[in-house]
Structure formats: structure tokens, C-alpha cells
């Protein structure tokens, strides 16, 4: 039985056979790498995820992070696992060697992250937030700030946080009110509270470096008036030794439905008037600076959604192969129970999960790959082209897999039946954990607005239109394969209808009012996600068809019957055939529903807008 986190064979297929990311190694930046070493690193990542991180996640859910008399205690075992994670080079995997990194392409880091996230997201919050906070200091800090903080954070001695949210400022970041006042020595005094701060306090690092969005007294309202400050838990001396406490305190942890291993803290800054903040970048550049890490963070949370889908599927598949209930439909025998995977409804559910997971894997890795292309682009035009693609894909990479995470964790429980609802198996934890991914780093609704009202309109709609046109090459290749015509015709039909939506929304806004595209943003995002996933599945099927045919030829298998028999007994053939079935299943079972979603959107109904608030 394969591991219960991710299908490692499919990870490698997507990277090396479909996207061919090893071609990046032809570029000077990645010249020291090759496919074999990437593969070895990913196998190591999988082992670490399986042996260390996953058991820690299960234990972490039982015990949870604790708040006791002003102190926060992380889940036992976290410190040791974090040390190993850092020492194995994963914290700085894609950083350049000058910063102690390995210089891996983002796409390989993304693939490793899928495994780590599938195993233990609460643990990965320590790593991700620390990395992202250090990265912002690397990009925008003064030489002194870089000297003081980055190395300690990249070495795993100190951790980091991102402190944005306040009671009156969640999605509405522009409403942040935490107050900063200028001190005579060029530092700032910070006063106020932040809520929901992941890893705001804990017990396993010597220092915690908070990046805090705040408003300097007298600065204008809205996002334009925000500045960003470094506020360490303990002040740092010039030689990087620790000085006095910095009047930053955790005043409580949230009691949450999931990710209990991750402390979600209410933080108080400057209760005694002694919290010193150090400006990062320029005054009022806070949002601009924060936005720098937004794409990477949103891709990471999307990857966690993918991780939840994957770990749910792998568990459900194992259970379906082992659990015996009911009789065979073809050869019923009351004395012989069959494994539940023989029941069509269980197979349909498993295939629904498998197909989505494979297509989303292609989409998420491709987005990481596009980020690598931005990094190595030889011309401004190339850089702009790849960057626009990343910008277009980010909202869907964040929102679609996280929404599917909730759905598929629920499907996994269904496959386990009553046992899935108990704490004897981890699938109920997956469901509880999954929901928050749809909320932080911008809710699904906020992603949809970003997509429908900003990203689709980039360069007068040309980025979106061009992306859809680029799908044609692969769809045409699939159409030339035997038995594919009906599937590719469906794809073209759905894609064409999707391509008409921007014009429909513009017309709706003109005729029915500015609210109209906002009302339709989430269904639009969802339909786009279906089409993108379908495209990656078609692409993978084209590759798989060619490889499977080569296998048949090598074995001299000409007739359908012997080919089918071979697929049933040969693991590689079964895998490749499975890729083809995934694509066909998705196109036949999902895209007609997508047509319906598009039709519902185009129906133009505005009753939710028209209804008086009292009518709800
Ligand atoms: C476990 C956990 C960890 C977190 N970690 C961090 C962290 O480390 N740092 C940090 O700063 N924050 C963190 N957050 C906060 C998180 O980012 C916010 O919860 C999130 O941004 C949503 O804000 P809110 O909860 O105030 O919801 P609201 O903004 O009140 O949203 C409520 C609902 O209204 C919708 N809505 C709001 N505004 C609009 C709009 N303009 N248009 C359409 N729909 C809208 C939303 O989509 C949502 O469905 C965390 C939250 C949780 C639960």
C-alpha cells in the first residue's frame, strides 16, 4: 500500500512527465539540479512527512496548543520536529545559497509542501510564517534589520508572525486601527490589539518576530495609511543577543474547531506603553510590502487545501479496499462479503476525488512553475507574461482546492461510514481542520472578487482570454486520439461558454448595477476552476495515452483484451490508464454541471440583491 498522504507516483508524473520541470535545470539559476536529485529530495520529504509530521498532527489534535497563566505551550514534539525540518533544509528550500538556502525551484518546494501540508498543517504554519516574515525583512529591511533578524529566523532559532487582523478589521484590512507613534530615536511606539494571530506566542523559540500592520498617528484612513513594523517579542541587541522584553503579550488563545495544534492568539501590543516597533520599508508602504508575499502565501494555503484532499482520499481509498460489506452485484453470494470499493457509488466518489486531486495538482504545480519562470525570464516581456499568468491563477489556486478540501474530507467520512464519524480514525479531524483554509489569507468570497473584478480585467481582459486560447493546443492533441472526440467537444463547449462571462458581467453591471458582478463572482470563480482543472487533466491524459501506447507496443499487445488484462496486472500501466480515466470522468461528470453553473449565472437573476433585508 502506498503512503497515506499523497500519491508519490502522481507527484512525479505531474512534475517530470507532464510539466517537465526538469527543463528548468537548463537555466543557470538551477543548473546544479537534475530530475534524479529532485526525485530523491521529494522521497525524503515524503518520509519525513509520514514518519514525523503526520503522527505529530494526530497527537496535536488531541492535546492542542495550550494557554496557561499567560504562557502558550506548543504541542509536545513540535520543537524537535521543527529543528529537524530546518536542519534538513526545508525552511529555506527555495532561498538562494547566500541566505543559507538550497536554491530549489518554487515548483519543487510546492510539491514537497503538498506532502508536508497533507501531513501537518498546524506545524507548517510555524515554518511558513517564519519564512514569509524573514523574506519580507530580506526584501524591504535596512542592512541593520537584515543583520538582526534574518539569519536567526532562517536558522530556526526565532519564529515569525503576520499580524494584520483586528476585531474591526478582518477582510476589511483598511480598517486597521493599531496605533503607531513616532519616537525621537526613529523607532515607533505601538499600542493596540491584534486577534487571530497564528503562533502569536509559543514556547519553543527564543524570540518571536511579529510583522505588524499599524497606522501612524495622523496618517489617512484606508489601506493607503498603513505602515508595517517589526515588533519582536524580545528586543534584539546590536550583536543579536536578546535584550529586554518588548511589551508584547498573548492574552489568550482561540478555542477552534480544528488545527488545534496551531495556537491562534490574541496579542496585546504596548499595554505599558513600551512596545517598540521598527519601521519596515517606508511609512505608508505597509500594504504594498505585505502584498509582496501574498501570492506565495495564497498558493501555500491552496496547497494545503490540496493536501487535505489528498490525505482524505488516500485514507478513504485504503479503507475502501479493506472494509468488507455487502455482496457482489454480478455474482451475489450471501456467504461472501466484498470490499466496499466494489460498490459503484464508492467507486464514483473515489473517482470524483482522484480526478479533482490530479487536476488541481497540475494547476498548483504549474503556478509554482510559472513563478520560477518569472524568476528566470530573459526579457521584461517574458517576465510580464508569466507574472500575469501567476496573478490570474492565484485566486483560483487559493479558493478552489480549499473548498474541495472541505467537500472531500466529508466524502472520506462518508466512505468510512459510521467509523468515519468517530475519533477512531483521523478523517473527522481532516474535516474539522479543513474549513479554515477557506477563510484565512482572504476568504473564498474575497478571492472571487479579486478574480472576477480585477484579475479577469487585467490588460483589458487579454490575459484571461489568452489563457483560455492557450488551452486549445492540448485539447486539439487530445481530439486526435481515438475515442476522445466527444470529450474534447464537451471541453470546447464549456470553455467557450466560460469565455463569454466577462462580457456578460460587464453588461450586467451596466444594466443592473455595480453589485451585479460581485453577486456572480463566486460562481464565476468556481466555473473557471472546473475548466482549469479539466485542462490539466486533458494535458495529463495526452501524456499518459502516449506512454501507455508505448508500453503496449513494447509488450507487443495489439488486441483490446490482452491490453486490458495487462492494465489489471501491471502497476505502471494501471497508473497511466488511471490518468486517462480521471480525465474522462471529470469531463463527462463535471463539465456538464459546469455548463449548468454558467447557465445559472447567465440567467441574470438578482433576487438576492432585490430582497429587502427584512425579507431574509
Ligand atoms: C485559525 C485562524 C488563523 C488566523 N491567522 C491569522 C494570522 O496569522 N494573522 C492575521 O492577521 N490574521 C489571521 N487570521 C484572520 C483571518 O485572516 C480572518 O479571519 C479573515 O481575513 C476574515 O476576516 P474576519 O474573520 O473578520 O471575517 P469578515 O471579514 O467579517 O468576513 C465575514 C464574511 O463576510 C465576507 N465579506 C467580508 N467583507 C466582504 C466584502 N467586502 N465583499 C464580500 N464579502 C465580504 C467574508 O468573505 C466572510 O464570508 C486567522 C484566522 C483564523 C480563523
User: What is the per-residue pLDDT across 138-166, written as a single tens digit (0 to 9) for each?
Assistant: 999 999 999 999 999 999 999 999 999 99
Contacts of 340 (CB under 8 A, 6+ apart): 319, 320, 323, 324, 325, 326, 346, 415
**How large is the average pLDDT for residues 213-233?**
98
Q: Are the C-beta atoms of 312 and 409 separated by less than 8 Å?
A: yes
DSSP class of residue 142 equals: -
Contacts of 280 (CB under 8 A, 6+ apart): 136, 137, 140, 141, 145, 211, 228, 229, 230, 289
294 Cα to the center of ligand 1, angstroms: 15
Classify residue 70 as left (phi > 0), alpha (psi -120 to 50) or beta. left
Closest CA to 102 of 110, 92, 111: 92
Q: State the closest ligand 1 atom to the C-alpha of 171, by its place in the atom list counted from 1.
A: 29
Residue 388 CA to residue 381 CA, distance in Å, equals 11
Residues noted as catalytic: 441
The beta-carbon contacts of 238-241 under 8 Å, at least 24 apart in sequence, are 238/148, 240/147, 240/148, 240/151, 240/152
Q: Is the CB of 162 under 6 A from ligand 1?
A: yes
CA distances in angstroms from 587 to 11, 475, 536, listed in the order given: 21, 12, 11
Mutate-to-test residue for ligand 1 from 121, 130, 164, 165, highest number of ligand atoms within 8 A of CB: 165
β-partners of residue 487 are none
607 Cα to the center of ligand 1, angstroms: 26
β-partners of residue 279 are 229
Q: 3-state DSSP: the chain helix, strand, coil percent, rounded to 5?
A: 65, 10, 25
* Phi, psi for residue 166 in degrees, rounded to 5: -135, 165
**pLDDT tens profile 440-453:** 999 999 999 999 99
**Between helices 515-554 and 501-512, what is the axis angle to 10°?**
170
Q: Is the CB of 264 under 6 A from ligand 1?
A: yes
265 Cα to the center of ligand 1, angstroms: 15
Q: State the closest ligand 1 atom to the C-alpha of 198, by its place in the atom list counted from 1.
A: 8
Q: Dihedral, CA atoms, 297, 298, 301, 303, nearest 10 degrees?
A: -100
Mean pLDDT, rounded, of the chain: 97
Q: State the closest ligand 1 atom to the C-alpha of 443, by its place in the atom list counted from 1.
A: 47
Q: Is the CB of 163 under 6 A from ligand 1?
A: yes
Residue 355 CA to residue 98 CA, distance in Å, equals 41
Residue 430 CA to residue 426 CA, distance in Å, equals 7
> What is the residue whose three cell numbers read 504594498?
288
Residue 284 CA to residue 220 CA, distance in Å, equals 9
Residue 576 CA to residue 372 CA, distance in Å, equals 28
Q: Is the CB of 89 under 6 A from ligand 1?
A: no
Residue 158 CA to residue 241 CA, distance in Å, equals 12
Pairing of strands 207-216, 158-163: parallel
**Cβ atoms within 10 Å of 9's Cβ, excluding its own:** 13
pTM exceeds cut of 0.85: yes
**How large is the average pLDDT for residues 83-93?**
96
Alpha carbons within 13 angstroms on the beta-carbon side of residue 436 total 18
Q: Is the CB of 445 under 6 A from ligand 1?
A: yes
Q: Is residue 495 scored above 80 in pLDDT?
A: yes
402 Cα to the center of ligand 1, angstroms: 15
Residue nearest to atom 42 of ligand 1 (CA): 446
Residue 387 CA to residue 566 CA, distance in Å, equals 44
Q: Is residue 587 scored above 90 in pLDDT?
A: yes
DSSP class of residue 223 equals: G
Q: State the closest ligand 1 atom to the C-alpha of 161, by its place in the atom list counted from 1.
A: 8
**pLDDT tens profile 508-542:** 999 999 999 999 999 999 999 999 999 999 999 99
**pLDDT tens profile 296-318:** 899 999 999 999 999 999 999 99
Q: Is residue 1 scored above 70 in pLDDT?
A: no
Q: Is residue 279 scored above 70 in pLDDT?
A: yes
**pLDDT tens profile 338-353:** 999 999 999 999 999 9
pLDDT of residue 97: 83
**pLDDT tens profile 402-442:** 999 999 999 999 999 999 999 999 999 999 999 999 999 99
Closest CA to 157 of 213, 105, 91: 91
Amino acid at each position: 500500500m502506498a503512503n497515506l498522504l499523497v500519491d508519490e507516483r502522481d507527484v512525479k508524473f505531474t512534475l517530470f512527465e507532464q510539466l517537465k520541470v526538469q527543463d528548468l535545470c537548463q537555466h543557470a539559476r538551477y543548473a546544479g539540479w537534475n530530475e534524479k536529485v529532485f526525485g530523491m529530495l521529494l522521497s525524503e520529504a515524503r518520509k519525513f512527512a509520514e514518519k514525523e509530521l503526520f503522527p505529530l498532527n494526530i497527537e496535536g489534535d488531541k492535546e492542542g496548543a495550550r494557554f496557561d497563566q499567560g504562557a502558550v505551550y506548543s504541542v509536545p514534539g513540535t520543537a524537535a520536529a521543527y529543528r529537524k525540518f530546518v536542519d534538513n533544509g526545508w525552511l529555506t528550500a527555495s532561498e538562494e545559497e547566500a541566505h543559507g538556502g538550497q536554491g530549489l525551484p518554487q515548483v519543487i518546494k510546492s510539491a514537497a509542501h503538498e506532502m508536508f501540508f497533507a501531513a501537518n498543517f498546524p506545524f507548517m504554519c510555524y515554518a511558513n510564517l517564519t519564512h514569509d516574515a524573514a523574506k519580507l525583512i530580506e526584501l524591504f529591511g535596512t542592512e541593520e534589520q537584515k543583520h538582526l533578524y534574518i539569519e536567526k529566523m532562517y536558522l530556526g532559532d526565532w519564529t515569525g508572525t503576520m499580524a494584520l487582523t483586528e476585531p474591526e478589521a478582518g477582510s476589511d484590512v483598511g480598517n486597521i486601527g493599531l496605533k503607531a507613534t513616532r519616537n525621537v530615536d526613529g523607532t515607533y511606539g505601538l499600542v493596540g490589539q491584534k486577534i487571530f494571530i497564528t503562533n502569536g506566542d509559543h514556547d519553543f523559540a527564543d524570540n518571536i518576530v511579529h510583522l505588524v500592520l499599524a497606522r501612524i498617528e495622523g496618517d489617512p484612513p484606508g489601506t493607503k495609511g498603513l505602515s508595517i513594523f517589526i515588533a519582536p517579542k524580545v528586543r534584539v541587541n546590536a550583536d543579536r543577543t536578546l535584550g529586554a522584553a518588548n511589551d508584547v503579550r498573548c492574552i489568550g488563545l482561540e478555542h477552534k474547531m480544528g488545527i488545534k495544534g496551531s495556537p491562534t492568539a490574541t496579542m496585546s501590543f504596548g499595554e505599558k506603553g513600551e512596545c517598540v516597533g521598527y519601521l519596515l520599508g517606508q511609512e505608508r508602504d505597509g500594504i504594498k510590502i505585505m502584498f509582496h508575499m501574498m501570492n506565495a502565501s495564497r498558493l501555500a494555503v491552496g496547497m494545503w487545501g490540496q493536501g487535505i484532499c489528498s490525505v482524505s482520499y488516500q485514507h478513504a481509498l485504503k479503507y475502501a479496499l479493506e472494509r468488507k460489506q455487502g455482496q457482489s452485484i454480478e455474482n451475489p453470494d450471501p456467504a461472501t462479503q466484498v470490499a466496499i470499493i466494489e460498490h459503484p457509488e464508492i467507486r464514483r466518489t473515489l473517482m470524483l476525488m482522484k480526478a479533482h486531486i490530479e487536476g488541481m495538482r497540475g494547476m498548483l504545480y504549474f503556478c509554482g512553475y510559472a513563478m520560477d519562470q518569472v524568476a528566470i525570464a530573459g526579457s521584461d516581456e517574458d517576465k510580464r507574461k508569466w507574472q500575469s499568468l501567476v496573478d490570474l491563477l492565484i485566486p483560483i489556486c487559493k479558493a478552489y482546492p480549499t473548498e474541495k478540501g472541505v467537500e472531500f474530507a466529508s466524502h472520506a467520512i462518508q466512505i468510512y461510514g459510521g467509523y468515519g464519524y468517530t475519533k477512531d480514525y483521523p478523517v473527522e479531524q481532516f474535516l474539522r481542520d479543513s474549513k479554515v483554509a477557506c477563510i484565512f489569507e482572504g476568504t473564498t468570497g474575497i478571492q472571487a472578487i479579486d478574480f472576477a473584478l480585477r484579475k479577469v480585467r487585467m490588460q483589458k481582459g487579454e490575459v484571461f482570454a489568452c489563457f483560455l486560447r492557450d488551452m486549445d493546443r492540448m485539447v486539439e492533441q487530445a481530439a486526435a486520439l481515438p475515442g476522445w472526440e466527444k470529450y474534447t467537444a464537451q471541453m470546447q463547449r464549456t470553455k467557450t461558454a466560460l469565455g463569454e462571462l466577462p462580457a456578460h458581467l460587464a453588461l450586467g453591471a451596466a444594466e443592473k448595477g455595480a453589485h451585479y458582478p460581485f453577486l456572480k463572482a463566486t460562481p464565476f470563480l468556481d466555473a473557471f476552476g472546473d475548466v482549469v482543472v479539466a485542462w490539466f487533466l486533458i494535458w495529463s491524459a495526452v501524456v499518459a495515452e502516449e506512454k501507455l501506447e508505448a508500453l503496449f507496443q513494447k509488450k507487443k499487445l495489439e488486441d483490446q483484451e490482452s491490453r486490458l488484462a495487462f492494465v489489471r496486472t501491471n502497476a505502471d500501466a494501471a497508473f497511466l490508464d488511471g490518468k486517462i480515466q480521471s480525465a474522462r470522468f471529470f469531463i463527462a461528470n463535471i463539465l456538464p454541471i459546469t455548463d449548468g453553473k454558467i447557465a445559472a449565472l447567465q440567467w441574470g437573476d438578482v433576487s438576492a440583491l432585490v430582497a429587502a433585508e427584512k425579507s431574509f
